[in-house]
Amino acid sequence: MREVTIAVAQMSPVLNQVEQNLTTMCKMVEDVCLQRKVDIIVFPELCTTGYECGVRFADLAERVPGHAVNVLSKRAGEYDTHIVFGLAEKQKVESVIYSAAVLVDPEGEVLADYQKVHLKGEQRLTFRPGFKYVTAETRFGIVGVLVGWDLAFPEAARCLALEGAELICVCGSWESPQANEWRSYCFARAYENAAFVAACNRVGEEPTYSFFGESMIIGPRGTVQARLTEGEPGVALATIDLDQARQYQEETQLLQARQPRSYREVVKMY
């Protein structure tokens, strides 16, 4: 039995205010970790900057590791926890920006640096899509990371499961009125991969979007482990047995029964 305590930290980032958002995140980490021992905390997509920054993303984007990673790594070390959070990431070429998610451990190491593959709408004008999925070996098991609209693509979560992910963390910025899609995808990704899904969606208002939250932790057979139903900042907590993911994968043979040779249409470009 591998007991793991997960928190999804639903927040309302303030647009263009990185320091204010980091302060909010650090306070949420402190508050939840003072209540009980937490192994991993998941925050939303672009939670350090907000969603509709437009051209400001060029100035707000950070390297990994960088300031935001350093701040949250320190907090992870203070409370002996892992933190997953979304940010705008720039790499060596200053003009190349990604909507990314980072997983840091209690030792301050970046275990995963994932660039969002599936960009939606105007994000295509700002960000470059990533091209690979990332899993990380933690002290309690293998964790995969997805960002936002990645959740809508079953191939993305399946790639993580095939790489051994027992827990899939989703950093989301799903807007109204897409709540039914969000719920359906969270359950589907858990069911179809026999994996735990910890999906954190943001709340709050921006110039043209309203975000509804409904962050949740779903078990490998669709059991709701924890859920936030109000569209307000808050934290949902659940202690799970990560061994259940392996157990259900073996019982259902979901991965072993695949027939990749029959899936050629899936990898065609349209």
Domain boundaries, the chain: 3-267
Strands of the 82-90 sheet, one edge to the other: 110-115, 97-104, 82-90, 40-42, 3-10, 234-241
pLDDT digits (tens, 9 = 90+) for 10-47: 999 999 999 999 999 999 999 999 999 999 999 999 99
The pLDDT score that the predictor gives to residue 270 is 79
% residues pLDDT > 70 (the chain): 100
Integer Cα distance of 46 and 12 in angstroms? 11
Summarize the confidence of residues 95-119 as an average pLDDT: 96
Instruction: Answer whether residue 93 shows pLDDT above 80.
Output: no
Instruction: Answer whether residue 268 shows pLDDT above 90.
Output: no
Instruction: Answer whether residue 241 shows pLDDT above 90.
Output: yes
Instruction: Answer whether residue 267 shows pLDDT above 90.
Output: no
pTM over 0.75: yes
Beta strand segments in the chain, E:
3-10, 40-42, 82-90, 97-104, 110-115, 135-137, 142-147, 167-172, 196-201, 203-205, 210-212, 216-218, 224-227, 234-241
Task: Round the average pLDDT of the chain to a whole number and report it.
Answer: 96
Instruction: Answer whether residue 191 shows pLDDT above 80.
Output: yes
CATH no., domain 3-267: 3.60.110.10
